[in-house]
Chains A and B, each alone.
Chain A
Amino acid sequence: MAEIELRGLVKEYPGGVRAVDGLDLTVADGEFFALLGPSGCGKTTLLRSIAGLETVTSGHIEIGGRDVTRLAPGARDIAMVFQDYALFPHMTVRDNIAYPLRIKKMGKPERHAKAEETAEGLSLGALLDRRPGQLSGGQQQRAALARAVAVRPQVFLFDEPLSNLDARLRLEARTFLKRLQRELGVTTVFVTHDQAEALAMSDRMAVMDAGRIRQIGTPTEVFQRPTSTFVASFIGSTPMNLLDSVVDRDTLRVAGVTLPLPASARPHVSDGEQLVFAARPEYMSFRAEPEPTGLEGVVAIVENMGVGSLVSLEVAGPADVTRIVQVTVPEGQEPEIGSRGWAVPAPERVLLYRRDDGELVGSARSDATDPVLAAARN
């Protein structure tokens, strides 16, 4: 069993692009860990560095207490599942699953027995003699997983394991993957650009941007308390409302409305400070009657989300710039388009960020050039 420890990891490509920029991270033994971020943020490079497919420029990688920084991929005791599954098209499913064991010089009857046992466990028993080209997307994914599982590695690495599946299958695979990881108890790192996937599957997750980790935490922590506007805007299936606001003594002026300044924020802000007011659409309620703490606007769009709807209000901002505020309403309470409405934030759910560095009000002010430390301290 193994924990993964990354210290001061830097991967610089020729030409000076830093895909991974001085990164520290510990993944606990048996943990299901998600690396989440927009494309180009360095999450895949980080995963490939752990696998050994990229040579790191500096820093250390330890797996199970063993420094593997300079070891070849095959010597790291890991198994990786690729985005395209990388099943060998000329081999049957049985030979595919047995191939890593063949590399490890296991005898033919032995490795075939093991491949069959593993395939059985992943309900691939009937497909052993097929070629990958004859399998459906979901079956291919399970064959790739079986190949990784049969090796019994210390660490699993999954690169966008679900992105090649269609939407329906993806949900099933999510549940399946999470259960499989729980049963095997193998430390797993997976990369995804889909925040819903990261929230649903991981025990802990890291949100990355520009080669650095912006926030590490459990899905609940990251969802409820994003430490920066970047994370806030990235997480959540409906985008977080982020509105410019100004501190006015004991109050907060947001989009023409004066709200009480939360007591917890009071010691950290000064009069006249520019802030960003943040509230999730799910944490706001919609009223059709005037409400003093509500943001007033005109209903512009109503999007049906199955259970409930997402209402977009056009709110008059400073200097006549209209802003969109989104709020969810329960089923059957959808307002008319063009009617007036008030979006009332739940006070305990409101988050305030500093306008200048985008960090949470009250968080330690770090060097603007080094947000990694701020995230790590959290």
Chain B
Amino acid sequence: MTVRAVVGRIGFYVLIALITAFMAIPVLWLLFAPFDRTPSLSTSLPEWTWQNFTGLLANPYALTSLGNSVLLALGSMVLVTVLGALAAYALSRVRIPGRDGLLYALLLLSSIVTGTAAMVPIFLLMFELNLIDSQLGVVLVLSGGLLPAAIFILKDFMDGTPRSYEESARVFGAGPLQILRDIVLPVVRPGIATIAVWTVVNVWGNFLTPFILLRSPEKSPAAVVLYTFYTEGGQANLGLISAFSLLYSIPVVAMYVFVNRRYGFRFHGGIKR
């Protein structure tokens, strides 16, 4: 090895170490700060205490907001997977002119639908529908925004399922819903699992939509409640925020590990096993 190569290699590792530290420090903060007597924005070994968590329990909205988050996430997940699977199956199997164009247009527009730009029209629409301060409204808006991408990904899985499976079942006398339930859905299960997790994660982390559409604090999800943790002095209450952040992130991480063990993640359907 030349000196030049050695120096290059050392420089490379230093760079990697810097990037790793950059990524790891916020995670360490999340692990340490909740147990620190005097949490600050810097990461340091904590003086152990449970006081941040007891403070959290005293807050009237903290735990209910986690429940609300679960409600919104599961509601959207059910809606997106059921509607997405049905639509993707139909779009995969029925030939309609301009199908791909339609899908790409939907995909493109969906980023606007849940995006900030469309917040005013969405608010007005929800207002007209009498869905302001309703969790159903939030679920509908979020699902609407996620569906195009879900359909797009699921359609790829459906396309990857050989038609002969369905034709074989048809010859044996199975109807379309029977075929979907017995043959297609089990075959595309990894795709469904991916979409379900992806929906949950998206809804779990969404702040803007529930912040705008919900008014009562007892209906707000965790992402919105987190925003209300101030001290009397109007400063961010880092103790509550860090403890709540930890609780807030555990379900998502747990779900990710569980689903990955059980089904495995795949974002494409076309590749043969």
Please list the residues of chain A having a beta carbon within 8 angstroms of any beta carbon in chain B.
51-53, 72-75, 78-80, 82-84, 86, 88-90, 99-100, 103-104, 133, 151
Q: Which of B169, B173, B182, B186 has the most CB of A within 10 A?
A: B173
Q: Whole-angstrom distance from the CB of A95 to the nearest CB of chain B?
A: 10
In the assembled complex, which residues on chain A have CB atoms less than 8 Å from the CB atom of B167?
53, 73, 80, 82, 86
Mostly helix, strand, loop or mixed at chain B's interface?
A: helix
Q: Whole-angstrom distance from the CB of A80 to the nearest CB of chain B?
A: 5
* A151 in contact with B172 (CB, 8 Å): yes
The verdict on A104 contacting B173 (CB below 8 Å), with A88-B187, A90-B186 known, is yes
- B54 near A: Cβ within 8 Å? no
Q: Whole-angstrom distance from the CB of B241 to the nearest CB of chain A?
A: 45
* A100 in contact with B187 (CB, 8 Å): no
- B168 near A: Cβ within 8 Å? yes
* A100 in contact with B172 (CB, 8 Å): yes
User: Could you tell me how many residues of chain B have their Cβ less than 8 Å away from some Cβ of chain A?
Assistant: 18
Question: For the complex, what is the distance from the CA of A53 to the CA of B168, rounded to whole Å?
Answer: 10
In the assembled complex, which residues on chain B have CB atoms less than 8 Å from the CB atom of A79?
171-172
* Between-chain CB contacts (< 8 Å), 25 pairs: A51-B171, A73-B171, A74-B172, A75-B173, A79-B171, A79-B172, A80-B167, A80-B168, A82-B167, A84-B162, A84-B164, A86-B162, A86-B165, A86-B167, A89-B187, A90-B186, A99-B169, A99-B172, A100-B172, A103-B169, A103-B172, A103-B174, A103-B178, A133-B273, A151-B172
- B170 near A: Cβ within 8 Å? yes
In the assembled complex, which residues on chain B have CB atoms less than 8 Å from the CB atom of A104?
172-173
* A53 in contact with B172 (CB, 8 Å): no
Q: Whole-angstrom distance from the CB of B15 to the nearest CB of chain A?
A: 44
Q: Which of A51, A79, A100 has the most CB of B within 10 A?
A: A100
Give 15 new A-B contacts, CB below 8 A, not counting A75-B173, A88-B183. Answer: A74-B173, A74-B174, A80-B167, A80-B171, A84-B164, A88-B182, A89-B187, A90-B186, A90-B187, A99-B182, A100-B173, A103-B169, A103-B172, A104-B173, A133-B273
In the assembled complex, which residues on chain A have CB atoms less than 8 Å from the CB atom of B186?
88, 90
* A53 in contact with B170 (CB, 8 Å): yes
Q: Whole-angstrom distance from the CB of A231 to the nearest CB of chain B?
A: 30
**Set A52, A72, A82: member contacting B168, Cβ < 8 A:** A82
Please list the residues of chain B having a beta carbon within 8 angstroms of any beta carbon in chain A.
162, 164-165, 167-174, 178, 182-183, 186-187, 189, 273
Q: Whole-angstrom distance from the CB of A114 to the nearest CB of chain B?
A: 14
Q: Which of B171, B174, B183, B186 has the most CB of A within 10 A?
A: B171
In the complex, which residue of chain A has the Cβ closest to the Cβ of B186? A90
In the assembled complex, which residues on chain B have CB atoms less than 8 Å from the CB atom of A51?
171
Q: Whole-angstrom distance from the CB of B172 to the nearest CB of chain A?
A: 4
In the assembled complex, which residues on chain A have CB atoms less than 8 Å from the CB atom of B162?
84, 86
In the assembled complex, which residues on chain A have CB atoms less than 8 Å from the CB atom of B164?
82-84, 86
**Set A53, A83, A89: member contacting B171, Cβ < 8 A:** A53
In the assembled complex, which residues on chain B have CB atoms less than 8 Å from the CB atom of A90?
186-187, 189
In the assembled complex, which residues on chain B have CB atoms less than 8 Å from the CB atom of A100?
172-173
Q: Whole-angstrom distance from the CB of B247 to the nearest CB of chain A?
A: 37
In the assembled complex, which residues on chain A have CB atoms less than 8 Å from the CB atom of B273?
133
Q: Which of A74, A78, A86, A104 has the most CB of B within 10 A?
A: A86
Question: For the complex, what is the distance from the CA of A51 to the CA of B169, rounded to whole Å?
Answer: 12
In the complex, which residue of chain A has the Cβ closest to the Cβ of B173? A74
Closest 3 CB pairs of A and B: A74-B173, A100-B172, A86-B168
In the assembled complex, which residues on chain A have CB atoms less than 8 Å from the CB atom of B178?
103
* A73 in contact with B170 (CB, 8 Å): yes
Question: For the complex, what is the distance from the CA of A72 to the CA of B189, rounded to whole Å?
Answer: 28
Question: For the complex, what is the distance from the CA of A54 to the CA of B258, rounded to whole Å?
Answer: 44
Question: For the complex, what is the distance from the CA of A86 to the CA of B184, rounded to whole Å?
Answer: 12
In the complex, which residue of chain B has the Cβ closest to the Cβ of A101? B172
In the complex, which residue of chain B has the Cβ closest to the Cβ of A75? B173
* B170 in contact with A74 (CB, 8 Å): yes
Question: For the complex, what is the distance from the CA of A86 to the CA of B169, rounded to whole Å?
Answer: 9
In the assembled complex, which residues on chain A have CB atoms less than 8 Å from the CB atom of B172?
74, 79, 99-100, 103-104, 151
In the complex, which residue of chain A has the Cβ closest to the Cβ of B175? A74
